[in-house]
Amino acid sequence: MQDLSHYLNGEHVAGTSGRFSDVYNPATGEVQARCPLASVEEVNQAVEIAAAAQPAWGAVNPQRRARVMMKFVDLLNRDMDKLAEALSREHGKTLPDAKGDVQRGLEVVEYCIGAPQMLKGEFTDSAGPGIDMYSMRQPLGVTAGITPFNFPAMIPMWMFAPAIACGNAFILKPSERDPSVPLMLAELMEEAGLPKGILQVVNGDKEAVDAILDHPVIQSIGFVGSTPIAEYIYGRGCSNGKRVQCFGGAKNHMIVMPDADMDQAADALIGAGYGAAGERCMAISVAVPVGDETADRLIEKLVPRIEKLKVGPYTAGDDVDYGPVVTAAAKENILRLVQSGVDQGAELVVDGRDFSLQGYEDGFFVGPHLFDRVTPDMDIYRKEIFGPVLSTVRAGSYEEALGLAMDHEYGNGTAIFTRDGDTARDFAARVNIGMVGINVPIPVPLAYHTFGGWKKSGFGDLNQHGPDAFKFYTRTKTVTSRWPSGLKEGGEFHFKAMD
């Protein structure tokens, strides 16, 4: 069994706390590695190294920092297969899905190549007699990110790429469930030319998280995970005077209008509801057909598609639709919520509770589930399941369907499928959710727009990636300048144009 490490000052460093977390192969249920859990002292060491390295990196001009990002993109493409295999081995998602994980992070890195343009300030000539005024965007110093298990490549890159492009040092605390890819990314960043100490990886649990939240040198913190933890990190981080952005749970609705292309809607729900075993904060977990006739037609389209889904290990290649969930505890939680849906009166149209894969009986596989006639008071509607479970809530009208999405405590993403432009426009304008898809099931913006939810899905004033990232990882300094060239009689200054 392999013991993993931290990554400090350009080197793999063994953990010294004596505490470890098991890293599983989700397909077999076997422990394949141990992840060290950092102590407060180890976090402090990482911060000390980062603080010493950051001033020199912050003084490097943005164009040269952008060249590191350019080289990093080349290396990501070179090692795409290697990264995807390591990701699938620890997370369980299929290889195409794992490559997509890396690719979406890579696209943010590509956007960060534009740092010289994004970091330009403003200038006003002659704001007053002989006075000029200008602003500068300057790095914060030492920044940090706490990232989840479900996207161990993409979300770390969403955070550290813009932070580093802005001239900061970055301390990454990835999920202890699948930590290998973040360590590999740190190696590639230094191969791309990043100075030692600018990107550090510290593995850990709550002890490491609290050390990051409380350390006075760390200026900003990013987080993606569950809403209760997001609220905790946001509150504690802000109380310590840090700039904090936290993104939490989700319960994403897809409204299906009577005029929708039902085949297109059903195909969208299959990919968005069951892809990556539903372990996505942008998964569609609630279908809301408007009218019983629409619901009946949608269920009729969904059932045969769901029954044909192929569940298996990533080693089976492209023939698998989705793999196992990440841990045995995750599987137990999903099945517990499925049982609650049955107990509370929902109709279980497709039952995946007895799913078993020959040769992988100890793996964390969960069969696909489809519920119909779910009501808003049920646990499977209120809670984020994070598994291959789709709930159908029948709405009597468009207004009722819109109200379901608006009244839910989560506000990450939503979608509507319709052929009617007026309905789509009204939905986009009125719904109180951060990301909206129109005939698009998972409305994840591209890297040059921003990503972020509303309500209990997002905490903080700025979103992830896009222009907001450059605002989050810099401070604005405004300078008002005048240059006296000599003195008149009586001690009065006079000014003349500079050569």
Catalytic residues, by residue number, are 281
Helix-strand-coil split of the chain, %, nearest 5? 40, 25, 35
- CA dist., res. 394 & res. 438, Å (int): 19
What is the three-class DSSP state of 86? helix
Query: What are the angstrom distances between the C-alpha of 62 and each of 121, 302, 309?
Result: 13, 50, 47
Give phi and psi for 334, each to the nearest 5: -60, -50
What is the three-class DSSP state of 325? coil
- CA dist., res. 37 & res. 213, Å (int): 16
CB-CB contact of 346 with 357 (8 Å):
no
Q: Which burial class, exposed, middle or buried, applies to 491 when counting CB atoms under 10 A from its CB (0-12, 13-18, 19+)?
A: exposed
* Close Cβ partners of 473 (under 8 Å, ≥ 6 residues apart): 139, 140, 143, 162, 163, 166, 168, 220
The tokens 């010294």 sit on which residue? 16
What is the three-class DSSP state of 287? strand
CB-CB contact of 201 with 159 (8 Å):
no
**Count of other CB atoms within 10 angstroms of residue 300:** 11
CB-CB contact of 294 with 256 (8 Å):
yes
The tokens 């619901």 sit on which residue? 295
